[in-house]
Chains A and B, each alone.
Chain A
């Protein structure tokens, strides 16, 4: 189950932590290309609700995913204070809309606890463990799982 954590069991991993509402999440820093501010996106017809549209990233067309909505929480109302985490997932580059980036964490596999048994299926399919850092709980998200499912829904 804890596949990512297992494959990198020995090394120290760097994670980027970010906030959505009052919750904290993190993703592997290796997949993050850059972090940038929100710019209005061009809406895509017939797209799932969590796809906010596309923006121009230096000449490339970049889809923007409302991560809050994708994770089954309430849809974001993007403002200039929101940030976009530009990440590479599989061979595609996507922008993830979050409230704010909060931290960069260096952790080993010992720091990552298995995801607790929760009722929400959606959370379980993306969550790859939780971290306890200075009294906070940060949920590790696997972007591949996130995007694979968005792809199949869009198709």
Chain B
């Protein structure tokens, strides 16, 4: 553990706190009145401030402090969390997130935005909702972050020093020689875990000290309260120019004792000097008795504890080596934190195996519905551990190897014909176990989509601000889990789609009012599991797709012919074509020149698909479905031109043996196959992938009917089907490059590499559509 690692932990924790903050603020916005929600929000900002202080992240500390101050007003009921107040707070949460990121990566942030929010927050803190007579915010003490100076431990200066050292420069008076301290603990001192012996020990460290104990107040044994405080001490410290170190020793105790500190040369030392009593005691101080004569007896130190009544000499030399600086190992704290930003070693990301075990088998949406108090109860249920992501990844890779090895073993047994029924049964059990291990291991890396969804609420706020639209984001199924490999790649397409929905989908408030809709548009973001995939829907209640305009545009761009007869669904799906944009002017909101075609492409890269259903006047629903993991895939193993390929099972509708009578030539090259009275284009996979030049005779092969992204079907011609199996996905890009028409690679039971077909790219390739394979290359980069 070193400071870089802790710094990384801090930023990880910030992410969690920021998510917590946003969730809490949104809950308050929805009318949550649970005080614990406000507390959680406050704690999130407070924690970020505390950690940021430790790393001297001054901008972050300063902003968090203002934010915290305003939140404190809400917490104490002085400020009503109205929608307007929460609007400022949500924006502040965004700025806090920006500042955190800036601190993490050393970036610059928009100073004007943060300054204007500071002004807003301060106005809120002192403004309406604050009870009368409240001090204005600026009157509060300035919060000054103290950077951690790890290379230079400071042992002194613990207590605030009430006077300047300059006062002692002219070394007048007896001040230089020492002080007489009288110290009379009250019972409370012991009750709070303080110990007179320790205080005397520390005073003795300051210089030559003579300590005398006054036990005259000790009652008879019969009347003695075992927890009472009956002793007092007089300590004469010499060789000390300044009483501050003495005050520092009694810093924790000063409330619970009577304490006087007088320069020892002062004749008035015999009298308690009122003006230098450090803090007015709570009770009337007991009159201090005349000091016991200072004596120097010769008893061992331990006797203080034994009798507590005898003046005790302190062996000062024993403390000489016990300085603070010595007790701190300098090694792990060598570098000043602020300077380590650039050099900070990358620290492995960590995932939290959170709640997963407890949640398994529970309706994920039910978890969404829990509120406030329930949430706290739930938090206490599932114990979690944090594990390095690297370790989980390694485990997943190893299990992948295990799956391959198990398949290889099964194949060799089959080929050798050595399989007795016992061996075969054993193999079957092995296969089952392997599969279960794999499922369990994959479940470890499964994560709820919640963090990604939470990021979307910010995107919505920003675009709503930019477009002057009023938008409410509703999320459902946030706890739906999906493999981390998928989660990581979800944010980008989702961001584009959300932007698109607000920018193009929702109308302006005026238009909505004119159409008889509520001024505020609603965007629904929902996730759920469906047949082994995760389905994410983005629905808006906007105007729906303007099919006339889409059609016109598509004709202008040459995507369709002017007399093309397209269904509504086909027209809607035109927006996914490359270069298509319905916005009349180029807007930098929907995505910096990125169209829906790129969104579709990146979803396809993940083995997903996307479609749209739109109703004029009512809105549009984008639906994307993605595999639950990018680590394994169910596939059909086929042979094409002596090559073994894997076709993802999700793309396959059916397989059929073509009869000669069902094959029809269409033009020079194209052939169609008739399936139940419809004609479906044949795609010769071997030719598309350049494995052979001549068209294979479809009658000798098998047609694999697949569904393409546009919704149409194609028949992929392959030579033979070998079987179905789950395969472990291996990247081709890791050591080579993207290959057009190929999604990834895998290793089959014979130990050889087989390629996994990218069905849509192959279909696109068969149309001579050059743009798409190239696009996919660019996307892979």
In the complex they form, do A and B come into direct contact, defined as C-beta atoms under 8 angstroms apart? yes
B45 interface hit (Cβ, 8 Å): no
Residues of A within 8 A of B689 (CB): 45-46
B400 interface hit (Cβ, 8 Å): yes
| Cα distance A139–B737 in the bound complex, in angstroms | 28
- Top 4 nearest A-B pairs (CB, nearest first) are A45-B689, A63-B736, A42-B753, A92-B735
Take A42-B753, A59-B404, A60-B730 as given contacts and tell me if A154 and B747 are in contact as well, using a CB distance cutoff of 8 Å. Answer: no
B754 interface hit (Cβ, 8 Å): yes
Contact of B754 among A42, A60, A93 (CB under 8 A): A42
B binding-site residues for A, Cβ under 8 Å: 397, 400-401, 404, 643-644, 689-691, 730-732, 734-742, 745, 747, 751-755, 777
CB distance from A78 to the nearest CB of B (A): 15
Take A56-B752, A60-B734, A61-B730 as given contacts and tell me if A46 and B400 are in contact as well, using a CB distance cutoff of 8 Å. Answer: no
CB<8 Å pairs between A and B, sample of 22? A40-B752, A42-B755, A44-B736, A44-B742, A45-B739, A45-B755, A46-B690, A46-B739, A47-B739, A54-B753, A59-B397, A59-B404, A60-B734, A61-B730, A61-B731, A61-B732, A61-B745, A63-B735, A92-B734, A151-B737, A154-B736, A155-B777
B747 & A59 in contact (Cβ 8 Å cutoff)? yes
B735 & A60 in contact (Cβ 8 Å cutoff)? yes
A137 interface hit (Cβ, 8 Å): no
Contact of A45 among B644, B730, B737, B740 (CB under 8 A): B740
CB distance from B440 to the nearest CB of A (A): 20
A32 interface hit (Cβ, 8 Å): no
Which residue on B lies nearest to A151, using beta carbons? B737
| Cα distance A97–B31 in the bound complex, in angstroms | 69
A-B contact count (CB 8 A): 75
B755 & A62 in contact (Cβ 8 Å cutoff)? no
A binding-site residues for B, Cβ under 8 Å: 40-47, 51, 53-56, 59-63, 92-94, 151, 154-155
Residues of A within 8 A of B397 (CB): 59
Which residue on A lies nearest to B691, using beta carbons? A45
Which residue on A lies nearest to B750, using beta carbons? A56
Residues of B within 8 A of A42 (CB): 643-644, 745, 752-755
| Given A42-B745, A59-B747, A92-B734: 14 more A-B contacts, CB < 8 Å | A42-B752, A45-B742, A46-B690, A46-B741, A54-B736, A59-B397, A59-B401, A61-B734, A63-B735, A92-B736, A93-B735, A94-B736, A154-B736, A155-B777
| Cα distance A17–B355 in the bound complex, in angstroms | 57
Which residue on A lies nearest to B686, using beta carbons? A45
| Cα distance A59–B751 in the bound complex, in angstroms | 9
Which residue on A lies nearest to B643, using beta carbons? A43
| Cα distance A151–B690 in the bound complex, in angstroms | 20
Residues of B within 8 A of A155 (CB): 737-738, 777
CB distance from A71 to the nearest CB of B (A): 19
Contact of A43 among B401, B691, B736, B741 (CB under 8 A): B691
B643 & A61 in contact (Cβ 8 Å cutoff)? no
Residues of B within 8 A of A55 (CB): 752-753
| Cα distance A40–B737 in the bound complex, in angstroms | 20
CB distance from A52 to the nearest CB of B (A): 12
Contact of A59 among B400, B737, B740 (CB under 8 A): B400
| Cα distance A15–B131 in the bound complex, in angstroms | 81
Which residue on A lies nearest to B737, using beta carbons? A154
Residues of B within 8 A of A92 (CB): 734-736
